[in-house]
Amino acid sequence: MSRVYNFSAGPAVLPEEVLKQAAEEMLDYRGCGMSVMEMSHRSKVYDDIIKTAEADFRELLNIPDNYKVLFLQGGASQQFAAIPMNLMRNKKAGYILTGQWAKKAYQEAKLYGEAVELASSADKTFSYIPDCSDLPITEDMDYVYICENNTIYGTKYKTLPNTKGKDLVADVSSCFLSEPMDVTKYGIVYGGVQKNVGPAGMVIDIIREDLIRDDVLPGTPTMLKFKTQADNDSLYNTPPCYTIYICGLVFKWLKNMGGLTEMQKRNEEKAAILYDFLDSSKLFKGTVVKEDRSLMNVPFITGDEELDKKFVAESKAAGLENLKGHRTVGGMRASIYNAMPKAGVEKLVEFMADFEKKNLK
Ligand SMILES: *Cc1c(COP(=O)(O)O)cnc(C)c1O
């Protein structure tokens, strides 16, 4: 067996300890004679798995009792519709456009009401986070929407927007559990787990209770009503059982590592290794303004498309996988999520330094 360093943006690297434990428990989950994949989601054994996962998740993020945690299917993209359907009572909401995922959410919201562009960084290929201190937010807006960490462009909000009293809704798919966060600053925090948490197939929503209501937009499917899911503790129908189980193992792993404060420290250390190199390199350049850089997704270029291609091919041959940038932007991108060990980032930087020596004209 040989494992590569996997810099994929998602689905992405998982902690080796978690994969090993899952392998050990695959055929016989803790003496019950079957795999987690094979058991009823209504069984006592599974009830314990999902309840423990939720309890550990709440503990990691210090989630107050007036927020519900929902384990849902349909990915983050399904929430682009579910959020306006559940929240747009005035049929109006403000969106800040910081990249492709924010834009997709904005476009989807337009199917249900008036989605207003409050600010955008499209003018400079989303390489920064716009000033959000005084946005044109109006009294009749139901919420203000952000994508907190922009997976494709590698930016992250370092301060949350001034929402002028409106509820903040945030897509945190690619920074979920990478550092502590104050959930009380948000109406809804949600993220697909396949970036920084677990395998694909689930999105986790953290929703303040007063936003879970019956008066949703007419035509909202039963499955997309937050109330349906909340009243049934994410077990209205069959949930993504195995994904929840693996996420539960990841939550235990995070707790064993010292929780999110410790993860933040490690993530800052890892990102600094890469950013420091980029800042001193004569060949490679980071594409994001310094103050808005993400700790999770680090895009970079050489400025020469042919050389970028060569880099991607040669890095792959050296056991550094999935460094190609998003198909819409090109260049390179290293996603260095929680489960990426420091040694992986060190090896990447070593490889980059060597590549620079050989290719700098
Ligand atoms: C990947 C990603 C999505 C889309 O997630 P799906 O689960 O594939 O729908 C949405 N938002 C962000 C920030 C992402 O990184």
Q: Which domains does the chain have, with CATH numbers?
A: 17-256 (3.40.640.10), 259-359 (3.90.1150.10)
Q: Which of 167, 171, 292, 308 is catalytic?
A: 171
144 and 116 in contact (C-beta within 8 Å)?
no
CA of 174 to the centre of ligand 1 (A): 8
User: Would the CB of 195 count as within 6 Å of ligand 1?
Assistant: yes
Provide CB contacts within 8 A for 105, sequence distance 6+: 79, 80, 83, 95, 145, 147, 171
Residue 330, pLDDT above cutoff 90: no
Per-residue pLDDT reduced to its tens digit, 118-160: 999 999 999 999 999 999 999 999 999 999 999 999 999 999 9
Q: Which of 95, 221, 234, 231 is nearest to 168 (CA)?
A: 95
User: What is the share, in percent, of the chain residues with pLDDT greater than 70?
Assistant: 100
Instruction: Judge whether 268 and 295 are in contact, CB under 8 Å.
Output: yes
Residue 333's nearest CA partner among 318, 360, 311, 361 is 311
Which two tokens mark 248?
A: 């539960």
Return the pLDDT at 173: 98
95 lines ligand 1 (CB under 6 A): no
Q: Using an 8 Å Cβ cutoff, are 93 and 145 in contact?
A: yes
pLDDT of residue 108: 98
Angle at 253 between CA 71 and CA 48, to 5 degrees: 50
Contact 137, 166 (CB under 8 A): yes
Pick the catalytic residue from 68, 156, 195, 324.
195
> Is the model's pLDDT at 177 over the cut of 80?
yes
292 is a catalytic site residue: no
Is 171 close to ligand 1, i.e. is its CB under 6 Å away?
A: yes
CA angle 37, 40, 45 (to 5 degrees): 90
Q: What is the pLDDT of residue 2?
A: 87
pLDDT of residue 361: 79
Instruction: Tell me the C-alpha to C-alpha distance, in Å, between residue 110 and each of 79, 91, 113, 114, 116.
Output: 14, 9, 5, 6, 9
Sign of CA dihedral 195, 163, 159, 111: positive
Residue 126 contacts by C-beta under 8 Å, 6 or more apart in sequence? 98, 99, 100, 150, 152, 153, 155
Q: Which residue has the higher pLDDT, 26 or 361?
A: 26
The finding on whether 199 has its CB within 6 A of some atom of ligand 1 is no
What is d(CA 36, CA 38) in angstroms, rounded to the nearest whole number?
5
- For 6-64, the pLDDT digits (tens) are 999 999 999 999 999 999 999 999 999 999 999 999 999 999 999 999 999 999 999 99
d(CA 177, CA 197): 7
pLDDT digits (tens, 9 = 90+) for 272-318: 999 999 999 999 999 999 999 999 999 999 999 999 999 999 999 99
Q: How far is the CA of 236 from the centre of ligand 1 (A)?
A: 24
Within a 10 A sphere around the Cβ of 53, how many other Cβ atoms? 24
Q: What is the DSSP letter of 301?
A: E
Is residue 171 annotated as part of the catalytic site, yes or no?
A: yes
Sheet (strand 144-147) strand order: 67-72, 203-208, 188-192, 168-171, 144-147, 92-97, 114-120
Nearest to 192 by CA among 173, 206, 215, 179: 173
Q: What are phi and psi of 71, to 5 degrees?
A: -100, 110
Atom 10 in ligand 1: residue holding the nearest Cα = 76
Q: Under a CB-based contact definition with an 8 Å cutoff, are residues 56 and 251 in contact?
A: yes
Q: For residue 172, how far is its CA from the centre of ligand 1 (angstroms)?
A: 9
User: Angle at the Cα of 328 (from 326 to 330), degrees rounded to 5?
Assistant: 60
Q: What is the mean pLDDT of residues 351-356?
A: 98
Asked about 101 being catalytic, the answer comes back as yes
**Is the pLDDT score of 329 beyond 90?**
no
Residue 1 — pLDDT band, cuts 50, 70, 90?
confident
* Summary mean pLDDT of the chain: 97
pLDDT at 85: 98
Does the structure show a pLDDT above 90 at 188? Answer: yes
Distances (CA, A) of 23 to 18, 19, 35, 68, 257: 9, 6, 10, 31, 21
Alpha helices (H) along the chain: 16-24, 44-61, 75-87, 100-109, 226-231, 241-257, 259-280, 305-317, 342-359
